[in-house]
Structure 1
Amino acid sequence: MTAAGSGGVPPVATAPPSLPREVYVLSVVGGCVMLGLGLILPVLPVYAATFGATPTDIGVLVALFAFLRLATSPFCGRLGRRFGERRVLVAGLLLCAVSSGLTAFAGSFGQLLLFRGLGGVGSVLFSVSALAMLLTIAPAEQRGRASAVFEAGFLLGGISGPALGGLLALVSLSTPFAVYAVLLLATAVLALAVLRTERTAGAAPGREVIRLAVLLQDRRYPVACLAALSQGWVLFGLRSALVPTVVVAWGHDVAWVGWAFTISAVVQAVLIMPAGRIVDQVGRRPAMIAGTAVSAAAITGLVFADGYALLVILLSLYAAGSALLNAAPAALVGDVVAGRAGSGVAVFSMCTDVGAVVGPVVVGLIAERVSIAAAFASGAVLLVVALVASLTLTTVRNSKELIDE
């Protein structure tokens, strides 16, 4: 007999507890950063060419940003431990603002290199500190949702930025850089004003330190790092470097590349919040397995793709898997680090940057010396390895949450 039938009060479904306000603030901050990057990235090669930069020079300019992110990452954990992630985050935003403002008034290609390099340093200070704060603030049972909200801000900013940047470039090529500098200054003020709360105490100086050697002994951490490496390799090595070449080789212009990327980005933006709920409610392990399996299947399909429509479908399928891989690995790292200081979040971030720096070079060499299909296969292999590693995780259920080990 049901409770209603026996005169009892029928059970009422309770909504999941809301996320801490600071999670949404960090998402807005991240969205503003990505919006600004979207403003300047389409304009940067053209702007550099006005200083007489060759295609090789422009390649160096783009790679320098990623390289300095990677080189600075090892110091982020130490800085966060000493000064607190909130201060390091704001410092990163201010450094990016100075970098963008100076870039708007650069007088030579050498100055452009220097100023963009400063932006790479500021970028990693912000991104590592923001993720560390997010994983500290969000309760364990909400880390998947929190990571999804955080990533949603980046996605929305990245989708809307390029179109706005193109409009601003009609004023002058330096205008997007000046606007980005102002946007970053406003974002830094927002972070200073709103992130001053007792909830960020775990992101303050003087916390217990967890060593990298200890982290590596917990299988969740290397599995998360492997997934991050695969994501960096595929997103920046395969998608950004190979897909445009393939689309143009099929006889389409660059606008078709933009449409393919936009469609897949919209798919990911739509799915990112459901993915976060899956990570928290179903568990980290199932989400990791599903994310790596779907992503690997999509990239494997690109090996055999022979038309634009199929390519868009496969990129959208990859976006679906990527939505899970943007939430689950970060949640795993948060479970392991559990608010303690150290280099755990920085090394996790470095894995994505390693994929972004090394991936395009290696993928390019494979495409040139073997075939484009083999280059796509390199990403599929990495994702399959991440899938196998995810299968080694175990899930333990208790009355409050799903814990993956």
Structure 2
Amino acid sequence: MLKQPIAVWATAIAAVFAFMGIGLVDPILPAIAKNLQASPSEVSLLFTSYFLVTAVAMLFTGWVSSRIGGKKTLLIGLVLIVVFATLSGFSGSVGQLVGFRAGWGLGNALFVATALAVIVGVASGGTATAIILYEAALGLGISLGPLLGALLGGWQWRAPFFGTATAMAIAFIACMALLPKMTPPAVKTRLRDPLLALGHKGLRFTAGSALFYNFGFFTILAFTPFVLGMDAYGIGTVFFGWGVCLAITSVFVAPVLQRMFGTTRVIVATLIALGLVLLGLGFAAGHSIPLVVTLVVISGALLGINNTLFTELAMGVSDAPRPVASAGYNFVRWLGGALAPFIAAQLGEHFGEQVPFFAAALAIVIGIVVVLLGRKHLAVAASDH
């Protein structure tokens, strides 16, 4: 796994910086709400706008990269992130911040979708190795994001945005210098290809289950900071532990469990465990902060396993080209990330802070049902018997 071309490492390190942007705002959500006189549901739109634009943009990332090449697409994505992260730091209202996060999401989509395709295409050791490297970058970025957000956000809530812009500018320089020139493929991706790819039952069941799984994932990430009642340093420390567990299991535990039990069996088992964790969070919210912290960290381990297995399943379950399959899959699954923060905040404001976790647990149950209904379509790619 470690014997990779320099282009793989350059892309992976840039991906770490890009994924830091997901959890970066986590520790400073309460501070943003306080300083911009916004409610939790208004602040939750920072996630919703980001992931909604990311999801929709996934549908045309392949169209862009197949015409201008992977390197140029990556660089454009990085430039957009630098610009909109900087503008986010200058926001004077929550509305402006939500809008700038949407632009940030566009850059993230162009970069993330293309980064996976670049790593899979350039890495040595096959698709499975490339996906593990990609998920390692995701896990490391998600774990470092809250830490950076806490360290900078504890000083000034605007600072994490400027910190991200600086990191992404460094990533831009690294990719510009180290990535080889990538000629566009001979076959151009059509705008409708990702949606057509979802016509494959295996990919459709994978994406559908991932949508509900991501609803649970981002309920934990986006709503728990309001339950913890901690400052930026406390929230950042909790989600750093969460992210470290996510990174470790995505790289080291998921492949072992996959070989021992098969992909779909492990997905179902970890989804059941995640549903139980969300129920526990619902009962603990407002009653036991130490239990909430413990369950959040445990959830990170479960999320890491499923992130790797869902991505690998999506990349291999259909006969569509990997970039096209990835775009269709990510379009559906990021919708779960877009819906969860706002719905969770609304439920919390109107019905109490326990209800969002119960709703997320229900979403996980639906995700399990989707996997079980599509098991025969998933088993061929997953090599389950």
State whether TM-score is above 0.5: yes
CA deviation map 1:234-253 (0-9, x unaligned): 22224421x334333xxx66
Question: Which structure has the bigger radius of gyration?
Answer: 1
* Residue number in structure 2 paired with 1:218: 200
Q: Which amino acid aligns with 2:298?
A: L
Task: Give CA deviations for 1:20-76 in whole Å, capped at 9, x if unaligned.
Answer: 6654433211112234666666568867977xx431565555543334333433322
Among candidates 272, 275, 280, match of residue 296 of structure 1: 275
Matched, 1:382 2:371: no
Rounded to whole Å, the distance in 2 between the matches of 1:74 and 1:363 is 26
The alpha carbon displacement at 1:335 in A equals 0.8
* 1:189 paired residue among 173, 182, 191: 173
1:152-210: CA deviations, max 9, x gaps? 2233233334444555568876654444333222212322333327xx77x74525779
SS of residue paired to 1:55: coil
- C-alpha change, 1:19 and 1:386, in structure 2 (3 Å) is farther
Alignment-derived partner of residue 241 in structure 2: 263
Deviation at 1:96, TM superposition (A): 1.1
Deviation at 1:256, TM superposition (A): 4.8
Kept in 2, the 8 Å contact 1:77–1:344? The answer is no
**Is residue 155 from structure 1 mapped to residue 129 from structure 2 by the alignment?**
no
Q: How large is the RMSD of aligned CA atoms in angstroms?
A: 3.9
State the alpha-carbon separation in 1 of the partners of residues 281 and 32 from structure 2: 33
2:130 aligned with 1:146, yes or no? yes
CA gap of 1:386–1:20, structure 2 versus 1, over 3 A, is farther
Is there any run of 5+ residues in structure 2 with no aligned partner, and where? none
Go from structure 1 to structure 2 and tell me whether the alpha carbon gap of 1:154 and 1:260 turns closer, same or farther (over 3 Å shift): same
Following the alignment from structure 2 to structure 1, what is the Cα–Cα distance between the partners of residues 153 and 352?
A: 37
Residues 227 and 20 of structure 1: is their aligned pair in 2 closer, same or farther, counting only changes over 3 Å? farther
Alignment partners' CA distance in 2, 1:378 and 1:366: 9
The whole-number CA distance in structure 2 between the counterparts of 1:328 and 1:78 is 26
**1:202-217 alignment, distance < 5 Å:** 204=185, 206=187, 211-212=193-194, 215-217=197-199
1:347 counterpart letter in structure 2: G
Q: Among 236, 248, 260, which residue is 2:218 paired with?
A: 236
Corresponding residue of 2:314: 333
Give the % identical residues.
23
**Is the 8 Å Cα contact of residues 215 and 340 (structure 2) preserved in structure 1?**
yes
Render the CA deviation track for 1:97-136: whole Å, top value 9, x for unaligned: 1223445566888765654443221111112222233444
Residues 378 and 281 (structure 1), Cα distance of their counterparts in 2 relative to 1, 3 Å cut = same
Q: Give the number of the structure whose residues are more often helix, by fraction.
A: 2
8 Å CA contact 2:61, 2:110 repeated in 1 = yes
Give TM-score scaled by structure 1 length. 0.75
Contact 1:146 1:276 in 2 (8 A): no
Q: 2:352 and 2:153 mapped to 1: Cα distance?
A: 37
**1:225 positional shift:** 1.0
Cα shift readout 1:329-379 (whole Å, capped 9, x = no counterpart): 111121145672764322322233311222223233444555544432222
TM-score of the pair, normalised by structure 2: 0.79
